[in-house]
Amino acid sequence: MLGELEVRYIQAYQATKAYLCPGCNRDIPERTHHVVVVPTEAPDLRRHWHTGCWQRRKPRS
């Protein structure tokens, strides 16, 4: 388990690079609002998610 997570909401004007969403495995183009999820104990494992994918994710048991 990753423990506590910090969730950062990125506005479109702040998104200057494209990323791959781990929720749907599709591109998040630059200039698209999205969410950055950062495990507080392992910040190098941060991931960029589509906002909808993050909201619909299934919690791990």
Instruction: Collect all residues with Cβ–Cβ distance below 8 Å to 51 and sequence separation of at least 6.
Output: 9, 33, 34, 35
Please write the tens of the pLDDT for every residue from 3-15. Answer: 899 999 999 999 9
β-pairing, 34-39 vs 27-28, is: unpaired
What is the spatial distance between Cα 60 and Cα 7, in angstroms, rounded to a whole number? Answer: 17
Residue 23 confidence (pLDDT): 96
Instruction: Extract the tokens encoding 8.
Output: 């950062």
Domain assignment of residue 39, yes or no: yes
- The pTM of this model reads 0.87
The number of domains in the chain is 1
Residue 3 confidence (pLDDT): 83
Q: What is the DSSP letter of 53?
A: H
Instruction: Extract the tokens encoding 28.
Output: 């998040």
Which residue segment(s) compose the domain that 9 sits in? Answer: 5-56
- Is-contact 35 10, C-beta < 8 A? yes
Domain assignment of residue 33, yes or no: yes
Please write the tens of the pLDDT for every residue from 20-36. Answer: 999 999 999 999 999 99
Domain assignment of residue 61, yes or no: no
